[in-house]
Amino acid sequence: MTNRITIIGAGFAGLAAAEKYRQKDGHAEITLIAPRAEFVFLPSLIWLPSGLRKASDIRVPLDHFFERLHIRYHWGSATGLKQGGRVVVTDNGEVENDGLIIACGGRFIKKLPGIEHAITPCEGIEAGEAIRTRLQGLASGTIACGFSGNPNEPSAMRGGPMFEFLFGIDKQLRREKRRSKFKLVFFCPAPRPGIRLGEQAVDRLLQRMADHDIEIHIGHKLKGFDAHEVRTEGGSFKADLILFMPGMTGNSWFGGAGLPLSEGGMIRADAYARVEGFEHVYVAGDAGSYPGPDWKPKQAHMAELQARAAAVNLHAGLKGEPPKRAFKTELLCIIDSLNRGSMVWRSERRSIMLPQMRILHWAKRLFEQWHIWKYR
C-alpha cells in the first residue's frame, strides 16, 4: 500500500522532513503544504542591511526540489485538522493523509503597546530590506536592538540573530565611517540575555558590547514602544530605529485543531517528535514544545534534527514498528558580524564558545550555500 504523507511548512523543518521521508520510502505520496513554493534562508537576513546579501540570494524557488523528490505541492495555509489529524484543512481545500508532520513554525507575540513601531527582523526578507532602507536614510541617531521571550515557554525565543544584527550594524557603520554619529543600545528584560548560550557566552557578549561602545539596558521589564522611544520599567530611552524580536508562541489554529498545547502555546511532543495523543502525527521545529534541558534552542539546526527524527519515526510507525530515533538536543550557532564569527556549541554534556575568527564567518556562508544549492 502506498502511504500518503502530508508535511505542513516549507522551512528548514519541513524540507528536511520531506527529504528524509523520501530517502526512507521512494514510493510514498508526499504532499507539502505552504503559502509559497519557496524557501527563504532566514539566517542570512542579518546580511541584508549591509548589502552582503540581497533578496534574490536567499530566496529559493522549490519547483526543482519538488520535481526531483516527486513531492506534490499544495498551495495554502493550514487552518485546522479533522479526524485526528488524518485531514489537514487549509484555506485552499482539504488534504487527506496517512501520516502528518507539522513543521509550519510559530508566530511572534505582538502584544506590547506600540510594537508596530519596531521592526521584527526574523519575520522575513521585507523586514531585512526595511532595516537597510532605514539605515541608509539616517544621518545620525540612536539604534536600539533587543529581544524578549515567552514567559510560559523559555525556549521560545530568538536572541542569537539580534546579537548578529547589533554587531553587524556596528561593523557596517564603522565601514561606512559613520559610527561616531550613532548611539547603539542593546535592551532585554532578562538580566542575563542569551543565557541559553551558556554563562561564558553571556559574559563575552556583554563585554564585547562594552568594548564596541554599545550601551546596555537589561534586566527591566518592557512596557512598550513609541515611534522614537523604548519604554521599560527601568526607564525609557530615545531611538530613531528599533529592532525587536519578541518571544514566540504557536499558530492560532493549533488550539482549534484539538492539538495538545504547552503553557506557551506550542504543540506538546515527546523525545521522538510525536504529538501527544495523536496517531501518526509529528511536529518539528518552532511549532513544537519538546522535552529536554531548559536551554534547548529554536534554531534551524535543531529543527532539522527534529524533522529527520520525525520522518524516521513516522515511517516506522506506519509499518507497525516502534519509534527508532530520539532527536538529539544540541545548540550550534555562529554569531556573525559581517567578516568574523564566534561559534557556540552546547550539548547536554558540555558547552564551548570559540572566539571571533574569519574562518567562522566563512563557515556560516558555507552552511548557507550548501542549503541553497541543495534546494535550488
- Ordered by where they begin, the domains of the chain are 4-106+250-318 (3.50.50.60), 109-247 (3.50.50.60)
Asked whether the predicted pLDDT for residue 157 surpasses 90, the reply is: no
pLDDT at 154: 85
> Mean pLDDT across the stretch 101-115?
96
Pairing relation of β-strands 182-188 and 341-346?
Answer: unpaired
Cα–Cα distance measured from residue 370 to residue 345, given in angstroms and rounded to the nearest whole number = 20
Cα–Cα distance measured from residue 208 to residue 193, given in angstroms and rounded to the nearest whole number = 13
Largest CA distance in the chain: 68
> Mean pLDDT across the stretch 38-59?
97
Query: Residue 228, Cα to own-chain centre: how many angstroms?
Result: 27
Residue 15 CB coordination number (10 Å): 27
pLDDT digit string, tens, across residues 317-346: 999 999 989 999 999 999 999 999 999 999
Q: What are the CA-CA distances from residue 264 to residues 153, 155, 247, 326 (Å)?
A: 5, 10, 10, 23
Q: Which helix (H) or strand (E) holds 58?
A: helix 55-58
Residues 324-337 as b or e (16 or more Cβ within 10 Å = b): ebebebbbbbbbbb
3-class secondary structure, 105: coil
Of 59-63, 199-203, 284-288, 339-343, which gets the smallest average pLDDT? 199-203
Percent of the chain with pLDDT over 70: 100
Cα–Cα distance measured from residue 187 to residue 172, given in angstroms and rounded to the nearest whole number = 20
Tell me the one-letter amino acid at 25: D
Q: Which helix (H) or strand (E) holds 32?
A: strand 29-34
pLDDT at 16: 98
Asked whether the predicted pLDDT for residue 351 surpasses 90, the reply is: no
Cα–Cα distance measured from residue 260 to residue 334, given in angstroms and rounded to the nearest whole number = 33
Asked whether the predicted pLDDT for residue 155 surpasses 90, the reply is: no
Nearest to 143 by CA among 195, 178, 107, 191: 178
3-class secondary structure, 263: coil
Of 28-32, 341-345, 349-353, which gets the smallest average pLDDT? 349-353
| R_g (Cα) of the chain, nearest Å | 21
Asked whether the predicted pLDDT for residue 54 surpasses 90, the reply is: yes
Cα–Cα distance measured from residue 327 to residue 93, given in angstroms and rounded to the nearest whole number = 33
pLDDT at 176: 97
pLDDT at 349: 86
pLDDT range class, residue 122, cuts 50, 70, 90:
very high
Asked whether the predicted pLDDT for residue 179 surpasses 90, the reply is: yes
Of 184-188, 196-200, 224-228, 269-273, which gets the smallest average pLDDT? 196-200
Of 12-21, 176-185, 187-196, which gets the smallest average pLDDT? 187-196
DSSP string computed for 115-171: GGGSB-GGG-HHHHHHHHHHHHH-SSEEEEEEE--BTTBTT----HHHHHHHHHHHH
Task: Kindly state the cell numbers that stand for 185.
Answer: 543600545
Pairing relation of β-strands 78-82 and 288-289?
Answer: unpaired
> Mean pLDDT across the stretch 298-323?
97
Cα–Cα distance measured from residue 358 to residue 364, given in angstroms and rounded to the nearest whole number = 10
Q: Which helix (H) or strand (E) holds 301?
A: helix 300-318
Residue 23 CB coordination number (10 Å): 13
Q: Which helix (H) or strand (E) holds 222?
A: strand 222-226
Asked whether the predicted pLDDT for residue 64 surpasses 90, the reply is: yes
pLDDT at 1: 79
pLDDT at 294: 87
Sign of torsion over alpha carbons 57, 58, 59, 61: positive
pLDDT at 18: 98
Asked whether the predicted pLDDT for residue 289 surpasses 90, the reply is: yes
